[in-house]
Amino acid sequence: MSPRGSGLALLAVLCAAPAALTGQTDEVGRAVLPLPETGRAAATVMALRDGEWTVVREGDGEFVCLADDPGDDRFHTACYHRSLEPYMARGRALRREGVTGRESVQRRWAEIEAGTLDMPDRALLHQLFSEEGWDGDPTTLRRLTVMYVPFATAADTGLPEEGSAGGPWLMFPGRPTAHIMIPG
């Protein structure tokens, strides 16, 4: 199977919705909710402690999960493939320096292009979120899966460059962090 084909097969498996979201009340349990149940126990979990992302559970699995920030009103947790850790860690370092938003992304693009920041050729990120917080009811959470495919274009993928009707689309086409946004 080609690398792109194996990535799509992986995407199909990992986009499956978690079978059960109820009963998750602890920080670690909520952090791993975006993953299929089979990957939750082995995931590394990070949480905010005194304004810094800190490992609260070291895992030996394929994913790193970020716990919800209890300091804001929304609910958001994300789990990304370990191969994205250099990119994510660099974003955290830039944030500590006061560099955020588009500037942080552009700096990391330049570093990837210069060969000083590693970026995998494909990797997944799963998110669950709600703008109103979360009361434990799984029907209130929205899912977004992101498949990083650096430098991919609409011509490469056949995907539109803007989201419409809840379907997948390509964000940052042609850039070092091009990725397929898969809502739902």
Q: Which residue has the tokens 């979120």?
A: 129
- Across 45-59, 98-112, 118-132, 154-168, least confident range: 154-168
Q: What is the pTM of this model?
A: 0.83
Calculate helix-pair angle for 101-114, 85-96, nearest 10 degrees.
Answer: 130
- The 10s digit of each residue's pLDDT in 103-123 is 999 999 999 999 999 999 999
* Strand ranges across the sheet with 52-57: 52-57, 44-49, 63-66, 75-81, 123-130, 142-148, 179-183, 169-171
Percent share of the chain, pLDDT over 70: 86
Rounded mean pLDDT of the chain?
87
- Three-state SS for 27-83 is HHHHHCCCCCHHHHCCCEEEEEECCEEEEEECCCCCEEEECCCCCCCCEEEEEEEHH
Cβ contact 65:78 at 8 Å: yes
What is the model's pLDDT at position 25? 58
- The 10s digit of each residue's pLDDT in 67-106 is 999 888 899 999 999 999 999 999 999 999 999 999 999 9
* DSSP three-state, residue 148: strand
- Cα–Cα distances (Å) from 89 to 69, 119, 174, in that order, read 17, 12, 23
